[in-house]
């Protein structure tokens, strides 16, 4: 369970939080009310960077700007408590922790130690530099200067890396960095980092994390810009990419931004293959395929800018409904096959068809993610059992793939839809892969009473080990499915989901002065409910 952190008004007992004892008399403190620091300065963490907010009420008087109150803030007991807690938190990737986990410190042989006095500015906004700093001891503030006014935006402590992105891009610094305390810094040059990356490829994982940290939604917009797009929120992490929700800077078009992990980006064979396919992939235009708008090469990796799709993964729908009724499963299979037909005719093989890559939108319209973006053949992530369940035998053995490879994965997906189970299951990865190699997909009719025979035959043929016994292409598979779709009555997934849902009522009785705490409690409850797929609604009324 996440530990709750103390707010400044609780520590200071000023009573100026919303609903506080002195809020009406003295006004609500901006540190508790200002939402411009959303995610840092609201909810359970509200006020924890009160030092960055102008107009707070401390020491019996209203304070000025950060620059005006900085000296008293850095001497404040609450401020020091927060910095200590933040240093100990695992919010950011710690370079010192990483290299310790990577067995040893040979990297330090390539760096020199620099000592910085408290108050010294050792990074200047706008300068171009090929240097990063790793904090061995002490802490510092990151300050953005805009129109002559300084705004603190971050704090770094022991183990953090300062200027890490700069050694990747050579772009001007986006902020000043000043020492809060006396500091010991390891100085890392770009050439040294490149040498370290070659000697210790594991450091590429850390590289991905520091770039990902840059796109944190709490960062200034300039930090989160990739070409014409701005990353806003993280959507998810996968074995070879991290996905963000984003926005076109001028058109305000919502997009999804997929950042390839650096260990993939340094695979020259993958990059070459991807770049060769990129124009074709970007040219795909089909109602069941997520559209790719742009491809950016930044921070020594690739960013794929694509259509932002709302809905839920098919895997989540299967989990929610337990099984997908045959008539709905056939409808889904027809849509997937139509997309595969379109892509295969343009020489694009998906290579990773599975329920997590299929998004179910409103009205049960499907969108398939990641055409052409799957792992290159021979570099599949076998540590990810989620991928291994759907891999055709020829993929496992590293043999060439063709449209029949996608047909196999479609058969496995179809089996899972109608039975609610994967055809092969084992906690041991090698055993699971051996099953895929030595067994055909079992007859789903054994697990599902009343399954239409034609649908069962389709799944059995699609899931054959031998590619020659599968449907030769998606067009032939589609020819089998379309007549079956006409024979079955369509049913909505929304109707099915509502049939299985229950409703409960919770009554809360509280006093007016408890409103702020109630709001915070409901915010936390709502977030947890949403993560569990629960709809949470509030209606206010007064007790008689």
pLDDT per residue over 277-315, tens digit each? Answer: 667 778 889 999 999 888 888 777 888 899 999 899 999
**Residue 329 pLDDT level (bands cut at 50, 70, 90):** very high
Rounded mean pLDDT, 346-370: 92
Quote the pLDDT of residue 514.
75
**Residue 180 pLDDT level (bands cut at 50, 70, 90):** confident
Architecture of domain 95-204: Sandwich (2.60)
Quote the pLDDT of residue 413.
97
- In 3D space, the residue among 313, 316, 290 whose CA is nearest the CA of residue 373 turns out to be 290
With H, G, I as helix, E, B as strand and everything else as coil, classify residue 389.
coil
Enumerate the CATH 2.60.120.10 domain ranges in the chain, comma separated: 95-204
**Residue 68 pLDDT level (bands cut at 50, 70, 90):** confident
**Residue 444 pLDDT level (bands cut at 50, 70, 90):** very high
Which DSSP symbol is given to 114?
A: E
Place of tokens 């590429």: 204
Quote the pLDDT of residue 376.
43
The share of the chain scoring above pLDDT 70, in percent, equals: 72
Least confident stretch, 118-127, 138-147, 408-417, 499-508 = 499-508
- The tokens for 312 are 């839920």
Least confident stretch, 19-33, 72-86, 168-182, 369-383 = 369-383
Rounded-to-integer distance, Cα 63 and Cα 70, Å:
10
pTM above 0.85, yes or no: no
Assess whether pLDDT exceeds 70 at residue 378. Answer: no
Rounded mean pLDDT, 360-383: 69
Enumerate the CATH 3.30.200.20 domain ranges in the chain, comma separated: 221-307
pLDDT tens by residue, 17-59: 878 888 888 788 877 775 544 444 444 345 556 766 777 777 7
Assess whether pLDDT exceeds 50 at residue 538. Answer: yes
Quote the pLDDT of residue 382.
43
Domain 312-491 listed as CATH 1.10.510.10: yes
Assess whether pLDDT exceeds 70 at residue 75. Answer: yes
| Secondary element (H or E) of residue 476 | helix 474-487
Quote the pLDDT of residue 340.
96
Of the ranges 23-27, 43-47, 75-79, 411-415, which is most confident?
411-415
Rounded mean pLDDT, 326-353: 94
Residue 29's Cα: distance from chain center in Å?
Answer: 33
| Secondary element (H or E) of residue 178 | strand 176-179
**CATH class of the domain comprising 221-307:** alpha beta
**Residue 479 pLDDT level (bands cut at 50, 70, 90):** very high
Quote the pLDDT of residue 408.
97
H helical segments located in 439-473: 453-462
Rounded mean pLDDT, 107-114: 76
Strand partners, 254: 247
Enumerate the CATH 1.10.510.10 domain ranges in the chain, comma separated: 312-491
Quote the pLDDT of residue 280.
74
pLDDT tens by residue, 111-142: 788 999 988 999 999 999 888 898 888 888 88
**What is the DSSP track for 394-428?**
HHHTT----HHHHHHHHHHHHHHHHHSS-SS--SS
Choice between 127 and 428, residue whose per-residue pLDDT is larger: 127
Choice between 352 and 204, residue whose per-residue pLDDT is larger: 352
Choice between 220 and 5, residue whose per-residue pLDDT is larger: 5
Of the ranges 131-135, 207-211, 295-299, 464-468, which is most confident?
464-468
H helical segments located in 200-267: 203-214, 262-265
Rounded mean pLDDT, 232-236: 81
Quote the pLDDT of residue 446.
93
Assess whether pLDDT exceeds 90 at residue 159. Answer: no
With H, G, I as helix, E, B as strand and everything else as coil, classify residue 146.
strand
- In 3D space, the residue among 421, 399, 403 whose CA is nearest the CA of residue 412 turns out to be 421
Rounded mean pLDDT, 322-332: 95
Assess whether pLDDT exceeds 80 at residue 350. Answer: yes
Contact 30, 51 (CB under 8 A): no
Quote the pLDDT of residue 392.
93
Which residues are catalytically annotated? Answer: 352
Rounded mean pLDDT, 404-432: 92
Average model confidence (pLDDT) across the chain: 79
What is the C-alpha end-to-end distance of the chain, expressed in Å?
37
């Amino acid at each position: 369970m996440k530990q709750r952190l103390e707010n400044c008004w609780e520590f200071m007992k000023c009573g100026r939080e919303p609903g506080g004892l002195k809020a009406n008399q003295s006004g609500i403190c901006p540190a508790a009310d200002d939402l411009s620091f959303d995610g840092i300065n609201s909810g359970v963490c509200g006020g924890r960077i009160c030092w960055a907010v102008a107009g707070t009420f401390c020491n019996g008087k209203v304070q000025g700007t950060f620059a005006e109150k900085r000296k008293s803030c850095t001497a404040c007991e609450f401020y020091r408590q927060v910095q200590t807690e933040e240093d100990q938190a695992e919010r950011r990737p710690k370079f010192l922790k990483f290299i310790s986990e990577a067995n040893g410190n040979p990297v330090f042989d390539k760096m020199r130690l620099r000592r910085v006095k408290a108050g010294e500015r050792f990074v200047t906004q706008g300068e171009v530099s090929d240097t990063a700093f790793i904090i061995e001891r002490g802490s510092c503030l990151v300050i953005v200067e805009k129109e002559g006014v300084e705004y603190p935006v971050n704090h770094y402590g022991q183990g953090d890396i300062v200027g890490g992105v700069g050694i990747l891009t050579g772009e001007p610094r986006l902020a000043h960095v000043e020492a809060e305390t006396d500091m010991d810094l390891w100085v890392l040059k770009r050439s040294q980092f490149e040498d370290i990356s070659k000697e210790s490829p594991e450091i590429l994982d850390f590289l991905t994390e520091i770039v990902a940290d840059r796109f944190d939604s709490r960062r200034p917009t300039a930090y989160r810009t990739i070409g014409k797009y701005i990353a806003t929120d993280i959507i998810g992490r996968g074995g070879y990419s991290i996905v963000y929700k984003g926005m076109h800077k001028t058109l305000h078009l919502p997009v999804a931004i997929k950042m390839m992990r650096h260990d993939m980006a340094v695979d020259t064979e993958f990059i070459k293959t991807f770049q060769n396919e990129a124009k074709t992939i970007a040219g795909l235009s089909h109602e069941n395929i997520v559209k790719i708008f742009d491809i950016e090469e930044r921070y020594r990796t690739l960013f794929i800018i694509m259509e932002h799709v709302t809905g839920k993964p098919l895997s989540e729908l299967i989990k929610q409904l337990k099984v997908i009724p045959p008539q709905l499963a056939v409808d889904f299979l027809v849509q997937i096959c139509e997309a595969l037909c379109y892509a295969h005719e343009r020489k694009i093989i998906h290579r990773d068809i599975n329920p997590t890559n299929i998004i179910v939108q409103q009205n049960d319209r499907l969108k398939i993610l990641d055409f052409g973006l799957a792992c290159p053949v021979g570099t599949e992530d076998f540590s990810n059992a989620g991928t291994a369940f759907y891999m055709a035998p020829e993929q496992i053995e590293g043999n060439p793939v063709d449209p029949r490879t996608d047909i196999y994965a479609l058969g496995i997906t179809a089996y899972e839809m109608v039975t609610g189970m994967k055809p092969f299951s084992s906690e041991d990865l090698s055993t699971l892969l051996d099953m895929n190699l030595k067994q055909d997909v079992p007859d789903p009719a054994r697990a599902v009473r009343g399954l239409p025979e034609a649908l069962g035959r389709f799944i059995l043929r699609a899931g054959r080990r031998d590619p020659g016994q599968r449907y030769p292409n998606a067009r032939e598979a589609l020819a089998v499915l379309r007549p079956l779709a006409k024979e079955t009555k369509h049913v909505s997934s929304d109707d099915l989901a509502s049939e299985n849902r229950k409703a409960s009522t919770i009554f809360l009785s509280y006093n007016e002065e408890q409103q702020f705490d109630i709001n915070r409690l409901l915010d936390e409850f709502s977030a947890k409910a949403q993560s569990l797929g629960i709809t949470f609604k509030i209606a206010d009324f007064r007790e008689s």
